[in-house]
């Protein structure tokens, strides 16, 4: 089986992973959105990774979904709302037993992707690394972090897992990946929407702690009810710890909204509320937060889903 890493989405995280894998000598191919993006990339010919003052250039081959040849290993590095449609376009090229690594934040997109690729193995990832695009085809590695990977359907790590260490991508294989993704989702639900509504850095929420605590209380009930008691433990303390540790940062949702990009609300707060509804739970604080956020996004002319 080919050991090529196909990278779907050459945005911030996709480029960060592609450059590090290429630097370690792994075979990497980018899959770009359309012929226009491919022509743009080919005019430049390289991806640039910026780390501090250092700039490294990698001539990684690229194609579109219409390229030829089977795909055995695919890193899905699109936003959560783009992941399933992007994988659907590639479905005819996925080999039997193909492995997909899903980098999306939040929950819900992983199941949407699995529906489009029923014969593939879907490996879920939760990342705290930070990267952003300085310009087209140039990504800055902005925050050291970590990656947890796991497969809720199969405890065995994939045979290529050591590629990550060889590429300097910090990663651990976890049997409790769903718990990690739920915990991150809960942190994001307690922090990110409020930073948009109060127009503040994460640290600005120290002035709104009763509101944060009320959300944490409902998120704790939800996590316990939906079979994720581990993700519920000490949530309120952890949220306050993250607010303090990231006080000077703007949340990812704040940045999306500021840059007039669609947010991933559907896979964060939206997923929390859909799960609550399935369990017959009424969570008034979270529902009110969701409504305020949708109103806020709509008033800015941004999608509320």
Enumerate binding residues for ligand KPL (CB under 6 A).
187-188, 191-192, 202, 242, 246, 251-252
The neighbouring-strand residues paired with 71 are: 94
Q: Count other C-beta atoms under 10 Å from residue 38's C-beta.
A: 18
Residue 74 interacts with which of ligand KPL, ligand NAD, none, CB < 5 to 8 Å by class: none
Query: How many whole angstroms separate alpha carbon 281 and alpha carbon 290?
Result: 15
For ligand NAD, the closer of residues 86 and 286 by Cβ is 86
| Residue 79 annotated among the catalytic residues of the structure | no
Q: What is the signed CA dihedral for 95, 101, 104, 107, rounded to 10 degrees?
A: 90
- For residue 188, the partner it binds in ligand KPL, ligand NAD, none, with Cβ less than 5 to 8 A by kind, is ligand KPL
> Which entry of ligand NAD, ligand KPL, none binds 296, CB below 5 to 8 A by partner kind?
none
**Contacted by 242, from ligand KPL, ligand NAD, none: CB < 5 to 8 Å by type:** ligand KPL
Catalytic residue among 184, 266, 271, 290: 184
DSSP assignment string, 89-144: HHGGGEEEEEEEEE--SSSSHHHHHHHH-TTSEEEEEEE--EEEEEETTEEEEEE-
Identity of the residue, 65 or 205, whose beta carbon is nearer to ligand KPL in the bound complex:
205
Residue closer to ligand KPL, measured from CB, 220 or 252: 252
Task: In angstroms, give the least distance from the CB of 133 to ligand NAD.
Answer: 6
What is the smallest separation between the CB atom of 246 and ligand KPL, expressed in angstroms?
5
Contact set with ligand NAD (CB under 6 A): 8-14, 31-33, 77-80, 82, 86, 103-105, 127, 129-131, 133, 252, 264
Considering beta carbons, is residue 56 or 246 the nearer one to ligand KPL? 246
251 contact choice in ligand KPL, ligand NAD, none (CB below 5 to 8 Å, kind-dependent)? ligand KPL
- Using the minimum distance from each CB to ligand KPL, give the nearer residue, 73 or 270: 270
Q: Which DSSP helix (H) or strand (E) runs through 236?
A: helix 235-245
**Residue 201, Cβ density class (10 Å: 0-12 exposed, 13-18 middle, ≥19 buried):** middle
Task: Report the candidate in 167, 155, 271 with the shortest Cα–Cα distance to residue 219.
Answer: 271
Give the residue with the Cβ less far from ligand KPL, 106 or 150. 106
Considering the complex, what minimum distance in angstroms separates the CB of residue 103 from ligand KPL?
13
Smallest gap from Cβ 41 to ligand NAD, in A, equals 11
Structural contact between residues 67 and 96, judged by C-beta atoms closer than 8 angstroms:
no
In whole angstroms, give the CA distance from residue 189 to residue 77: 22
Count of beta carbons in the 10 Å neighbourhood of residue 45: 12
- Residue 187 interacting partner from ligand NAD, ligand KPL, none (CB closer than 5 to 8 Å by kind): ligand KPL
- Interatomic CA distance for residues 40 and 36, integer angstroms: 6
Q: How far is the CB of 47 from ligand KPL (least distance, A)?
A: 24
* C-beta separation of 145 from 171 below 8 A: no
Q: How far is the CB of 178 from ligand KPL (least distance, A)?
A: 17
Q: Which residues does the annotation mark as catalytic?
A: 184
């Amino acid at each position: 089986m080919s050991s090529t890493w196909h990278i779907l989405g050459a945005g911030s995280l996709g480029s960060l992973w592609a450059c590090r894998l290429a630097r370690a000598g792994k075979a990497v191919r980018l899959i770009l959105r359309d012929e226009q993006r491919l022509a743009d990339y080919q005019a430049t010919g390289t991806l640039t990774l910026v780390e501090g003052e250092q700039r490294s250039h990698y001539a990684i081959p690229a194609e579109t979904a219409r390229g030829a040849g089977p795909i055995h290993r695919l890193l899905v590095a699109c936003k959560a709302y783009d992941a399933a449609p992007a994988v659907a376009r590639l479905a005819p090229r996925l080999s039997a037993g193909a492995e997909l690594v899903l980098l999306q934040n939040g929950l819900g997109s992983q199941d949407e992707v699995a529906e489009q690729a029923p014969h593939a193995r879907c490996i879920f990832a939760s990342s705290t690394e930070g990267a952003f695009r300085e310009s087209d085809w140039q990504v800055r590695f902005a925050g050291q972090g970590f990656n947890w990977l796991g497969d809720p359907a199969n405890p065995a790590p994939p045979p290529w897992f050591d590629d990550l260490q060889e590429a300097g991508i910090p990663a651990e294989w976890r049997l409790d990946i769903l718990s990690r993704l739920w915990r991150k989702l809960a942190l994001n639900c307690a922090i990110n929407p409020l930073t948009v509504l109060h127009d503040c850095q994460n640290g600005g929420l120290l002035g709104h702690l009763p509101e944060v605590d009320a959300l944490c209380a409902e998120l704790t009930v939800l996590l316990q009810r939906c079979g994720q008691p581990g993700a519920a433990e000490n949530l309120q303390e952890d949220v306050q710890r993250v607010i303090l540790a990231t006080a000077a940062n703007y949340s990812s949702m704040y940045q999306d909204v500021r840059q007039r990009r669609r947010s991933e609300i559907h896979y964060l707060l939206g997923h929390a509320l859909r799960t609550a509804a399935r369990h017959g739970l009424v969570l008034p604080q979270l529902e009110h937060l969701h409504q305020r956020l949708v109103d806020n996004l709509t008033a800015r002319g941004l999608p509320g889903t």
